[in-house]
Structure 1
Amino acid sequence: MTAVQDKASGQADPGGTAATSPPPYRRTRRATALPSGDKLVLGLMLGIPSLVHVLFVWVPALGSIALSFSSWDGIGGFEDIEWVGFQNYVDIFTRYPRFWPALQHNLIWLVFLLVLPTVAGLLLAVLLDRQLRFGRLYQSALYLPMVLSLALVGFIWQLIYQPEQGLLNNLLGTADDHPTNWLGDPDINLYAVLVAAAWRHTGYVMLLYLAGLKSVDPALKEAAALDGASAFQTFTRVTFPVLKPVNIVVLVVTVIEALRAFDIVYVVNKGRNGLELLSVLVTDNIIGESSRIGWGSALAVVLLLISLGFIITYLFQVFRKEERA
């Protein structure tokens, strides 16, 4: 008797497979369904970080945007807030003499970090990717400054830049006769601090590019070598285009690092005498002696818009080129 006949007559299949086996789609559905306990754990793992992120990032950010349209000294309740519209922004751009120098310094900071640490980090990553002897040691030594806080970096470079007893003036031989005041001269102190910031940032850029170089398919390099391409041509035409995602990450990290710079200049001279930055102005207006919450919030919004402007413009150019290709 066939399996069809057994099924029609209500008798079980002797092998017990045709009549008792569930449909394949039911087995798949049971295999992919999560138990209730796993759903709870997954919900907690996703929900708690999301809630913390919203409470401590988005709520303060939106609150700062709202307060930028107000005049409030931080004393009293919310009923004491006076809403002034765009007056804070008008005053910042027209009546605040420290704003334009701080904005100029931030832009110089950004361009400097985009050029020097990025190029140096890429060069170091290419050298370390060649499996040098003691490469791990070099990598750890170059990345070590990134582990240090910017405040500690500022303290270390203060010792290097000391006029009489500092390392730099002693190496230049000017410690005893007309020592250079690297951090006290407003014409050069910004660039002296930028060297310290670049020293810290280079190791991070190096690590990002090194990770990107490790992911490049060796077959692409071998194919370029077989076609007669030199090492420089292989890097510029094969390796570097593959690093486009890393370039985006480096850009975003550098923009954020440049615009949020605060610790190192505040350690040196509290962001004055040639070291004015937008982040310092935000701090001075919100928690400083003036305590102008509206002005400080408006400055923070301007800082946010500048950072988003750089990042969105670059991403728009990148994605538009990909669509054309």
Structure 2
Amino acid sequence: MSLTTTRGGRRQRPRGTRRFNRRDRIVLGILLGLAVLVDLFIVWGPTLASVGLSFTSWDGISEISWVGLDNYRTAFTEYPQFWPAVRHNLMWLGFLGLVATPFGLFLAVLIDRGVRFSRFYQSAIYLPVVLSLAIVGFIAQLVFSRDQGALNALLGRQDNPVDWIGDPDLNIWMVLLAAAWRHTGYVMILYLAGLKAVDSSLKEAAAIDGANERQTFFKVVFPTLRPVNVVVMVITVIEALRAFDIVYAINRGRNGLELLSVLVTDNIIGEASRIGFGSAIAVVLLVVSLGVVVTYLVQELRGEKDR
């Protein structure tokens, strides 16, 4: 560390630099160590345990027996709910990523332009975010219920009601609308914060160069939102693949609403208590989640490096 000399001949350290003493290092070590231990205990410990248990047969009471890849083979070839659950999770991811997320960005752009009552719109759209997905599931039941639902009453179909959440061909789409209702507000707030941070001089320079509003947004504004895009992408993947509460509140994730998270719960804490088999499904969910997120982040990092 370099030192500077003052008028009196004394040497002092440059401003902005500070050497940690022994007490500081001990405090930092304790604080960081506690954070790492909590992370290992709550996140990585159960994760690694699930990976290990996925190769075993265990009901939580009897002795653990090693079965190798049998749990995965059973899930892929003999478990009838597995592939519908995979399809529904991918539909969830596609709907949130291709419909709800762009719509949240669209609302953020509109509010950022300073429309009248923008504070009211911002609060109203964000309001569902403070609700848990279980509460959103109960609200979906009130809206889409066959006999007393608000949607059938609004459409005037009390005499010939549509079973929106009982029909396996329709209920997944109704639940996706409810989940997107909550997800849109979250995305809107994130993008709105990103738009507020965009340097206005960039927009002015684009206008001077003759760019219209559409060209300015896609050529100037949207590229500057790259950090927000990464956060939104990761959140969207997590929200899509960990979905559980809303379908469990509606019909316990059955009859067209099967999800991998529901299958994990049913097998691990259900009557069968097939902890090894449920852990195998959980590992599949983990691999899919990491695969999507890591692939996207690698592409983003490569694009950033190329620039």
State the shift of 1:132 in Å. Answer: 2.8
Aligned mates of 1:251, 1:100 — CA distance in 2: 24
For these two proteins, the number of residue pairs brought into alignment is 302
Letter in 1 for 2:304: E
Alignment map for 1:53-132 (pairs within 5 Å) = 53-76=39-62, 80-132=63-115
TM-score normalized by the length of structure 2: 0.93
Alignment correspondent of 1:235:
217
Q: 1:246 aligns with which of 228, 235, 242?
A: 228
| 3-state SS, counterpart of residue 273 of structure 2 | coil
Matched, 1:48 2:25: no
State the shift of 1:185 in Å. Answer: 0.5
Unaligned runs of 5+ in 2: 1-5
Letter in 2 for 1:70: T
State the shift of 1:39 in Å. Answer: 3.9
State the shift of 1:248 in Å. Answer: 1.2
Letter in 2 for 1:250: V
Q: Deviations over 1:6-51 (max 9, x none)?
A: xxxxxxxxxxx77x63324xx3499612355544443343222221
State the shift of 1:207 in Å. Answer: 0.8
Range that drifts further, 277-286 or 238-247 = 238-247
Alignment correspondent of 1:213:
195
Aligned mates of 1:39, 1:320 — CA distance in 2: 36
Alignment correspondent of 2:121:
138
Alignment correspondent of 1:174:
157
Aligned mates of 2:65, 2:175 — CA distance in 1: 39
Matched, 1:148 2:131: yes
Identity %: 62
Aligned mates of 2:79, 2:50 — CA distance in 1: 20
Q: Deviations over 1:57-80 (max 9, x none)?
A: 11111011010111111114xxx1
Aligned mates of 2:298, 2:23 — CA distance in 1: 43
Aligned mates of 1:284, 1:173 — CA distance in 2: 38
| The structure with more radius of gyration | 1
Letter in 2 for 1:213: L
Alignment map for 1:259-274 (pairs within 5 Å) = 259-274=241-256
Range that drifts further, 237-246 or 42-51 = 42-51
Letter in 1 for 2:67: V
Aligned mates of 1:157, 1:321 — CA distance in 2: 40
Aligned mates of 1:22, 1:294 — CA distance in 2: 69
Letter in 2 for 1:58: W
Aligned mates of 2:262, 2:19 — CA distance in 1: 53
Letter in 2 for 1:33: R
Matched, 1:21 2:4: no
Q: 2:265 aligns with which of 283, 294, 313?
A: 283
State the shift of 1:161 in Å. Answer: 1.0
Aligned mates of 1:149, 1:320 — CA distance in 2: 36
Aligned mates of 1:270, 1:283 — CA distance in 2: 10
| 3-state SS, counterpart of residue 60 of structure 2 | coil
Aligned mates of 1:291, 1:150 — CA distance in 2: 26
TM-score normalized by the length of structure 1: 0.88
| 3-state SS, counterpart of residue 276 of structure 1 | coil
Matched, 1:194 2:171: no
Q: 2:167 aligns with which of 185, 192, 210?
A: 185
Q: 1:311 aligns with which of 284, 288, 293?
A: 293
Alignment correspondent of 2:3:
none
Aligned mates of 2:120, 2:217 — CA distance in 1: 25
| 3-state SS, counterpart of residue 288 of structure 2 | helix
Q: 2:238 aligns with which of 247, 253, 256?
A: 256
Range that drifts further, 278-287 or 239-248 = 239-248
Q: 1:299 aligns with which of 281, 291, 304?
A: 281
State the shift of 1:139 in Å. Answer: 1.2
